[in-house]
Amino acid sequence: MHAPFDTQPILESDNALLLPLTEHDFDALFKVASDPLIWEQHPNQDRWQEPVFRNFFEGAIQSRGAFKIIDKANGEVIGSTRIYDYNEQTDSILIGYTFFARTCWGKGYNTGVKRVMLEYLFRFVSTVDFHIGATNYRSQHSIVRLGARKVAELEVAYYGEATRLNFVYRIKKEEFGA
């Protein structure tokens, strides 16, 4: 990598602020995550339950790449996302574990957050991959609109949860924004 690389930078899109996730953020983030409909298409559909989400949250903290997403309009926590698995040999990294409050769906939050994350990451790597659950059609559609293409299918081991089928989507630096 060419410059100092931080897996938890403070990033800002038009409508959202990404801040490093801390242990103090559990209650605010669980308030968002406790909506079962958020997880309806997700491989881990029971993540809205407090003990299951607590495990997810612990994995996020341990990853040292997780963010809370704040709505700039009202200062509320509206979701989370994560940067993980930097691979120096393949010059790649992953974005995933993203979820938003349903009030944010279809309003450009996800696109804006992913775009600012990609702009940041492409300063350091040439490839960004996304693991998306095989039945998570909303997320698949969303990432394709950003220019990603499906390149593989992979069993992904979630922290403290069962392994699930995911699709791997990829965006290359030279394709981004083209």
User: Three-state SS for 4?
Assistant: coil
Amino acid code (one letter) for 65: G
DSSP state of 65: -
Sheet strands (E) in 4-115: 11-12, 16-20, 66-71, 77-87, 92-100
pLDDT of residue 4: 61
pLDDT of residue 156: 79
pLDDT of residue 138: 87
Output b/e per residue, 8-24; b: 16+ Cβ within 10 A: bbebebebbbbbbbeee
**Calculated CA dihedral for residues 66, 3, 16, 146, nearest 10 degrees:** -90
Q: Other CB atoms closer than 10 Å to residue 26's CB: what's the count?
A: 18
pLDDT of residue 2: 47
Per-run averaged pLDDT (10 residues), the chain, 178 residues: 75 97 97 94 86 94 96 97 94 94 94 96 96 89 93 82 86 87
